[in-house]
Amino acid sequence: MWKPANILMERCKMQETVDFIQKTFNTKEFIPLHEPRFFGNEKKYLNECIDSTFVSSVGKFVDNFEKVFALKVGSKYAVATVNGTAALHIALILAGVEHGDEVITQPLTFIATCNAISYCGAKPVFVDVGLDTMGLSPKSLENFLTIHCEIVDKKCINKTTGKTIKACVPMHTFGHPCRVDEIKTICDAWHVELIEDAAESLGSYYKEKHTGTFGKLGAFSFNGNKIITSGGGGVIVTDDEALAKRAKHLTTTAKIPHAYEFVHDMIGYNYRLPNLNAALLVAQLEQLNGFLENKRALANEYAEFFSKSADIKFIKEPKDAKSNYWLQAVLLKDKKERDEFLEFTNKNGVMTRPIWRLMNELEMFKTCQCSDLTHSKYLEERVVNIPSSVRL
């Protein structure tokens, strides 16, 4: 049990943190976790879009965004969607994930990863993350496959369930790249499709290659709290022309192009990004480099400040990675200290939040197969996000 003197010392440390964050953001008013910044041509492009009357899923801003985004991340093709979950859902379908299949992913992720898997009628299988990346661990993945799986007719079969493991979906947590090249090598050997959940990692690179471009398909998100945003939005990236064409077809209700006839040749989805949102994204993309520089400068200031604390560790980009530092994060000593930190900062006008509840602990996924999740549980009990907005 803590002595009163220890409690007072901890409170002083937390007050110092609040004071530093208020000074860093130059305000004593409420500081949100991550708010969007619209510094550029957003209003100009929105007005142009409105004046054109093409505000739905057809228009020059959608086309422009897809071309510019593909160039930005180094993929051959990009297909814009209404949100990141839709992008991941379609990517899984394109990879051949079907009802009754299994998909390996990490338990330490946002719910959208597992929701997209579930939309396909598939079931998640959870393997542990690495402490260095907070993303899916290649070692945990290989151990799971070696112990529980076998290759039959070039398919990865889970010996425990008898189901086919069709895909693997690592997630680049808070924009910090996981060791995705090792994951790809393992997936290739086991005939498992690699699909990257790059929702949080626009502007992040692993070994000088952009996240989302290592696997057959990658999915990004532009939700209101992402590094660039249109209030929503997502995109699928791939180097496979046939997959890109099918992605566009599926996300446009599988309608066969025609001047006036309505003929659909399969079950499709109304998942295309509206031109209105694309106008915002085109303007936001123009500012991405500045946003990344600003967030890296903030990360350096946080790293210096927390280097003086024995009990709070600032989470830096992993080895061989260049992170976008989308959400800045710290690691507390234990769950008790984490909870006190969360309560104190939020009561004092600085928004902080814990990392997500582990997916295997949620009611919908309690029956899913898991490897040993020691690292995931350790991080769940200690990681806290702190204010990460691009500073004015």
Write the DSSP string, 78-146: EEEESBHHHHHHHHHHHTT--TT-EEEE-SSS-HHHHHHHHHTT-EEEE-PBPTTTSSB-HHHHHHHHH
Residue 6, pLDDT score: 63
For 156, the enclosing helix (H) or strand (E) is strand 155-158
What CA–CA distance (Å, rounded) separates 69 from 222?
12
Residue 392, pLDDT score: 84
Extract the tokens encoding 26: 């130059």
Q: What is the pLDDT tens value at each position of the chain, 392 positions in all? A: 444 556 666 778 899 999 999 999 999 999 999 999 999 999 999 999 999 999 998 899 999 999 999 999 999 999 999 999 999 999 999 999 999 999 999 999 999 999 999 999 999 999 999 999 999 999 999 999 999 999 999 999 999 999 999 999 999 999 999 999 999 999 999 999 999 999 999 999 999 999 999 999 999 999 999 999 999 999 999 999 999 999 999 999 999 999 899 999 999 999 999 999 999 999 999 999 999 999 999 999 999 999 999 899 999 999 999 999 999 999 999 999 999 999 999 999 999 999 999 999 999 999 999 999 999 999 999 999 999 999 98
What CA–CA distance (Å, rounded) separates 130 from 7?
32
Q: Which CATH number fits domain 42-286: 3.40.50.170, 3.40.640.10, 3.40.1440.60, 3.40.50.720?
A: 3.40.640.10
Report pTM: 0.95
Task: Let me know if domain 4-36+288-386 sits in CATH 3.90.1150.10.
Answer: yes
Question: Residue ranges per domain, the chain?
Answer: 4-36+288-386, 42-286
What CA–CA distance (Å, rounded) separates 28 from 30?
7
Beta strands 234-238 and 217-221, pairing class: antiparallel
Place of tokens 């079969």: 157
